C-alpha cells in the first residue's frame, strides 16, 4: 500500500507547469525555444505598488496579520466591489488568501462532502477539476463548443444540474479561451440557477480587467441580485496588476462561508504575506490608468496572433473578448504527418511535435477539457509572438 493518500492518486500534476518545465529543459539543452505557455503578463508590477510593498517592509509591517487579511485590504476590496461591480459587501464578508488559487481551494474544502457535484464548463482552467477532487467532491464537466464561442448554454447548464450539484464554477473572461459572457448570455445562465435554489455559483473573475473592445465584463451577483446569497465572487490582483508572484487573491460572499474559509486558512497557511497585502491595498486604491495602456498592448498582440494563426493551414482561431489567451482548433491537422514523421493523432501530439520540431511551447487542449485545440498565451513580446506564429505556420504547412 502506498504511503500517500488515496485522494492524491485522483489528481494530476498541472499540465501547464509540465509544458513550462519541458520548454525550460529544451532551452537548458541549448535549443531555441519560444514559450507561449505562461499564464502571466510579461509587464512589471507598477512602481507605486512595488513602492507600497517596500514601504511596508521599511515600516515593519512584517508580522502575522489576521489569518484572512488586514482590515485595510478588506476595506479596499469592499470599495472595489461597490465601485466596479455594484456589489455591496461588508468586511466580514471578505476573505483574502495566498492567490486566487487558495481562495477557490478553501471554498471547495469548506463545502464539499463525498458525492457532492461541481459543474465545470469546459474548456476550463486546469486546476478546477483537480481542486474539486482534492476537496473530496466530484467534477461534472459540461462541454462548450467552438460554435458557441466556447460558452456554456442555458440548456447545457440545465442538463448538468442534479440534486447533488453544489456549485457551478463560472469563469469569464476565460482561461484558456479568452471567451467573455455578455450580460444577456450570463442572464440566461443565472435564470437557470434561479430555478435550482440548491446550486451556488463560484465565479472566478480573475480576468475582469482584461476585457477588450465592446465587451463589458459582468459578474453573476450583479446580473442577478437574487443570487447574491449563494454567490462567492472571487478575484485577485495577480493578472491585471502583474502581481502573480505576490500571491494575493480574494473573495466576497455569505458570512458563514467566509467564516469557514477563514477557519481552514487559520489552521493551514494563516495570513498571506503581510507585505503583499499592503501592496494589494495600493493596487486597488491607487491609479488604474495603466490598465488601459496594458490592454491596448494586449489587443494589438491578440489581433496579431489571431490573424497569423488563421493564416496557418488547418488552424481556425476565433477572436476572444478578454484575458491573454487564444484557443485555436487544429481539427483539420489531425491524422496528418509532420515533417519529422510524427502522426498527429491528437492535440497533445500536435503540441509535442511543435515543441520538438519548431521550438514553440503551447499547451494542448486536452489539458483544458476540450480537443482538438491548443492554448496560446500572448502575454509576451510582439517579436516573440511573430516568430512563434511564423514557426507554427511552417509546422502546419509541412504537415502531409
Ligand atoms: C482562471 C484563473 N483563476 C485563478 C487563477 C489563480 O490565480 P493566482 O495566481 O492569483 O492564484 C488563475 C491563474 O492562472 C487563472 O487563470
pLDDT tens digits, 352-370: 999 999 999 999 999 999 9
Quote the percentage of the chain above a pLDDT of 90.
Answer: 92
3-state secondary structure of 353: helix
373-380 mean pLDDT: 97
Residue 17 has a pLDDT of 78
Ligand 1 centre to CA of 260 (Å) is 21
CATH level 3 topology of 6-44+290-397: 3.90.1150
Domain ranges within the chain, ordered by starting residue: 6-44+290-397, 63-285
% of residues, the chain, pLDDT over 70: 100
CA 257 to chain CA centroid, nearest Å: 22
Do the strands 117-122 and 138-143 form a parallel or antiparallel pair, or are they unpaired? Answer: parallel
Residues 6+ apart with CB under 8 A from 137: 108, 112, 113, 114, 116, 117, 118, 166
Q: Which of 21-25, 328-332, 369-373 has the lowest mean pLDDT?
A: 21-25
* pLDDT above 90: residue 39: no
Query: Do residues 123 and 150 make contact, with C-beta atoms less than 8 angstroms apart?
Result: yes
Asked if residue 266 has pLDDT above 90, the reply is yes
Cα of 399 from ligand 1 centre, angstroms: 35
Q: Is 97 in the pocket of ligand 1 (CB under 6 A)?
A: no
The pLDDT value given to residue 386: 98
Choose the residue to mutate in 41, 205, 239 for probing ligand 1, maximizing ligand atoms within 8 Å of C-beta.
239
> Rounded CA gap, 302 and 322, in Å?
9
HEC profile of 247-302:
CCEEEECCHHHHHHHHHHHHCCCCCCCHHHHHHHHHHHHCCCHHHHHHHHHHHHHH
**What's the confidence (pLDDT) of residue 16?**
76
Provide the pLDDT for residue 7: 79
Dump pLDDT digits (tens) for 224-243: 999 999 999 999 999 999 99
What is the band of 190 on the pLDDT scale with cuts at 50, 70, 90?
very high
pLDDT band at residue 155, thresholds of 50, 70 and 90? very high
Ligand 1 pocket member 171 (CB < 6 A): yes
Query: How confident is the model over 6-27, as a mean pLDDT?
Result: 82
**What is the Cα 22 distance to its own chain's centre?**
21
What would the DSSP string read from start to end of 322-339? BTTEE--B-GGGTT-B-T
Supply the pLDDT for residue 19: 79
Measured CA to CA, the distance from residue 309 to residue 277 in angstroms comes to 40
Ligand 1 atom, smallest distance to 104 CA = 4
Q: For cell 478588506, what's the residue?
A: 74
CB distance 190 to 230 below 8 Å:
no
Q: Please report the pLDDT score of residue 389 as a whole number.
A: 98
- Cell representation of residue 268: 493551514
**Average pLDDT, rounded, for the chain:** 96
Q: Which residue has the higher pLDDT, 367 or 22?
A: 367
The more confident residue out of 22 and 281 is 281
Q: pLDDT per residue over 46-98, tens digit each?
A: 999 999 999 999 999 999 999 999 999 999 999 999 999 999 999 999 999 99
**CA pair distance 156, 161, nearest whole angstrom:** 9
Q: Residue 142: what pLDDT?
A: 98
Ligand 1 within 6 A of 100 CB? yes
CATH 2.60.120.260 fits 63-285, yes or no: no
How many of the other CB atoms lie within 10 Å of CB of 230?
Answer: 18
The yes-or-no verdict on residue 262 having pLDDT over 80 is yes
Long-range CB pairs of 239-242 (<8 Å, 24+ gap) are 239/40, 239/41, 239/206, 239/207, 239/209, 239/210, 239/323, 239/324, 240/207, 240/208, 240/209, 240/210, 240/291, 241/45, 241/46, 241/49, 241/283, 242/40, 242/41, 242/43, 242/44, 242/45, 242/46, 242/294
Cα(348)–Cα(352) distance, integer angstroms: 6
**Is the C-beta atom of 320 inside 6 A of ligand 1?**
no
Residue 13: per-residue pLDDT: 77
DSSP states along 135-200: TT-EEEEEE--GGGTT---HHHHHHH--TTEEEEEEESS-TTT-----HHHHHHHHHHHHT-TT-E
Look at ligand 1, atom 7, and give the residue with the nearest C-alpha: 100
Q: How many CB atoms lie within 10 A of CB 41?
A: 22
Are 6-44+290-397 and 63-285 the same fold in CATH? no
**Predicted local distance difference test score (pLDDT) of residue 12:** 80
Closest ligand 1 atom number to CA of residue 171:
1
Grid cell locating 174? 476565460
In this structure, the dihedral spanned by the alpha carbons of residues 347, 353, 356 and 357, taken in order and rounded to 10 degrees, is: -130
Contact 304, 386 (CB under 8 A): yes
Strands 325-326 and 374-377: antiparallel
Q: Write down the pLDDT at residue 2.
A: 83
Write down the pLDDT at residue 256: 98
pLDDT value for 245: 97
Q: Ligand 1 centre and the CA of 201: distance in Å? A: 17
The residue whose CA has the least distance to atom 16 of ligand 1 is: 175
Q: According to the model, what pLDDT value does residue 298 have?
A: 97
Amino acid at each position: 500500500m502506498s504511503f500517500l493518500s488515496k485522494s492524491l492518486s485522483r489528481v494530476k500534476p498541472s499540465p501547464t507547469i509540465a509544458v513550462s518545465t519541458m520548454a525550460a529543459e529544451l532551452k537548458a539543452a541549448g535549443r531555441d525555444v519560444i514559450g507561449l505557455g505562461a499564464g502571466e503578463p510579461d509587464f512589471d508590477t507598477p512602481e507605486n505598488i512595488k513602492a507600497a510593498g517596500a514601504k511596508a517592509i521599511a515600516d515593519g509591517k512584517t508580522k502575522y496579520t489576521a489569518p484572512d487579511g488586514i482590515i485595510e485590504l478588506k476595506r479596499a476590496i469592499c470599495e472595489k466591489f461597490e465601485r466596479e461591480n455594484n456589489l455591496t459587501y461588508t468586511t466580514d464578508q471578505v476573505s483574502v488568501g495566498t492567490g486566487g488559487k487558495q481562495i477557490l481551494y478553501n471554498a471547495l474544502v469548506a463545502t464539499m462532502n463525498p458525492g457532492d457535484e461541481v459543474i465545470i464548463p469546459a474548456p476550463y482552467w486546469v486546476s478546477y477539476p483537480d481542486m474539486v477532487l482534492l476537496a473530496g467532491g466530484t467534477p461534472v464537466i459540461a462541454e462548450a463548443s467552438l460554435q458557441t464561442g466556447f460558452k456554456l448554454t442555458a440548456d447545457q447548464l440545465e442538463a448538468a444540474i442534479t440534486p447533488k450539484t453544489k456549485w457551478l464554477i463560472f469563469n469569464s473572461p476565460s482561461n484558456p479561451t479568452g471567451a467573455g459572457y455578455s450580460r444577456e448570455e450570463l442572464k440566461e445562465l443565472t435564470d437557470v440557477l434561479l430555478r435550482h435554489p440548491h446550486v451556488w455559483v463560484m465565479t472566478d473573475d480573475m480576468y475582469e480587467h482584461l476585457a477588450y473592445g465592446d465587451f463589458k465584463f459582468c459578474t453573476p451577483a450583479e446580473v442577478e441580485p437574487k443570487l447574491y446569497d449563494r454567490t462567492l465572487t472571487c478575484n485577485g490582483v495577480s493578472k491585471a496588476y502583474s502581481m502573480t508572484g505576490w500571491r494575493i487573491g480574494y473573495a466576497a460572499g455569505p458570512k458563514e462561508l467566509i467564516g469557514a474559509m477563514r477557519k481552514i486558512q487559520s489552521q493551514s497557511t494563516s495570513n498571506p504575506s503581510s507585505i503583499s497585502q499592503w501592496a494589494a491595498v495600493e493596487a486597488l486604491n491607487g491609479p488604474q490608468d495603466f490598465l488601459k495602456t496594458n490592454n491596448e498592448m494586449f489587443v494589438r498582440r491578440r489581433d496579431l496572433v489571431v490573424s497569423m494563426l488563421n493564416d496557418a493551414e488547418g488552424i481556425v482561431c476565433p477572436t476572444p473578448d478578454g484575458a491573454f489567451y487564444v484557443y485555436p482548433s487544429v481539427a483539420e491537422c489531425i491524422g496528418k504527418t509532420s515533417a519529422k514523421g510524427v502522426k498527429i493523432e491528437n492535440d497533445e501530439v500536435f503540441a509535442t511535435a511543435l515543441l520538438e520540431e519548431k521550438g514553440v511551447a503551447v499547451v494542448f487542449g486536452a489539458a483544458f477539457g476540450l480537443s482538438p485545440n491548443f492554448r496560446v498565451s500572448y502575454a509576451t513580446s510582439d517579436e516573440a509572438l511573430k516568430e512563434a506564429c511564423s514557426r507554427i505556420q511552417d509546422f502546419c504547412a509541412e504537415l502531409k
